[in-house]
């Protein structure tokens, strides 16, 4: 008589662990993406700072040429100095933005490291549950084989007894 097929009693827990693994995998991807975006923002800020420095140097050269040729008027010089001062302030603001962006990158790196740890932990949990399920399957198979062997022995004994009684 066929036995009822055994069901792995921890299957729901295994499914929860698999969903958690998938979720941490997605979070890991998001953390990688966030880090790349923060690094890209830093590159943009550094380019903008370089553009400000280049404009300041270009403006300085132009003013030096005007002064050397005697084309500069006091009013132009004052306007030019104010412009250079403004560019210097812009550069300092960019420096602050760059520092803040570097801190944002550090936070993104920490978030990425945490996401990696979470993913690794989730993978370990799934692996443990799958190993447990495999061991459970082996145990069930061994028990079924034992019961089949026992039934076959009993059946063999009954047949032997019947033959003995008849013959």
The answer to whether residue 153 sits within a structural domain is no
What mean pLDDT do residues 102-127 have? Answer: 96
The answer to whether residue 164 sits within a structural domain is no
The CA-atom distances, in angstroms, between 57 and each of 62, 91, 98, 111 are: 9, 12, 21, 40
The answer to whether residue 16 sits within a structural domain is yes
- Angle between helical axes of 74-166 and 11-69 (0-180°, round to 10): 160
The answer to whether residue 155 sits within a structural domain is no
Per the structure, the count of domains in the chain is: 1
What is the pLDDT at residue 3? 59
Here the CATH number for the domain that contains residue 40 is 1.10.287.1700
Q: Report the predicted TM-score, pTM, of the whole model to 2 decimal places.
A: 0.72
The answer to whether residue 3 sits within a structural domain is no
Q: Do 111 and 27 form a contact (C-beta atoms < 8 A)? A: no
What is the pLDDT at residue 109? 97
The answer to whether residue 156 sits within a structural domain is no
Tell me the three-class secondary structure of 9-65, residue by residue. CCHHHHHHHHHHHHHHHHHHHHHHHHHHHHHHHHHHHHHHHHHHHHHHHHHHHHHHH
Closest CA to 114 of 19, 22, 30: 30
The 10s digit of each residue's pLDDT in 49-103 is 999 999 999 988 888 887 778 776 667 778 888 988 999 999 999 999 999 999 9
Q: Which two tokens stand for residue 57?
A: 């140097």
**70: alpha, beta or left? (left if phi > 0; alpha if psi -120 to 50):** left
Q: Which domain holds residue 30?
A: 11-125
The answer to whether residue 23 sits within a structural domain is yes
The 10s digit of each residue's pLDDT in 3-17 is 567 788 899 999 999
Q: Do 27 and 115 form a contact (C-beta atoms < 8 A)? A: yes
Q: Measured between alpha carbons, how far is 100 from 42 in angstroms, rounded to an integer?
A: 9
The answer to whether residue 142 sits within a structural domain is no
């Amino acid at each position: 008589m066929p036995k009822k097929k055994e069901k792995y009693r921890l299957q729901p827990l295994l499914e929860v662990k698999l969903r958690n693994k998938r979720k941490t995998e997605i979070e890991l991807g998001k953390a990688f993406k966030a880090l790349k975006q923060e690094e890209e923002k830093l590159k943009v800020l550094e380019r903008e700072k370089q553009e400000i420095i280049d404009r300041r140097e270009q403006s300085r050269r132009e003013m030096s040429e005007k002064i050397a040729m005697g084309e500069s008027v006091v009013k132009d010089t004052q306007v030019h100095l104010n412009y250079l001062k403004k560019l210097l302030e812009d550069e300092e603001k960019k420096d602050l933005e760059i520092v803040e962006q570097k801190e944002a990158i550090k936070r993104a790196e920490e978030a990425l490291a945490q996401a990696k740890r979470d993913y690794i932990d989730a993978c370990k949990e799934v692996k443990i549950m799958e190993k447990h399920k495999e061991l459970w399957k082996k145990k069930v198979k061994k028990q079924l084989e034992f019961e089949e062997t026992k039934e076959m022995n009993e059946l063999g004994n009954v047949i032997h007894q019947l033959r003995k009684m008849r013959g």
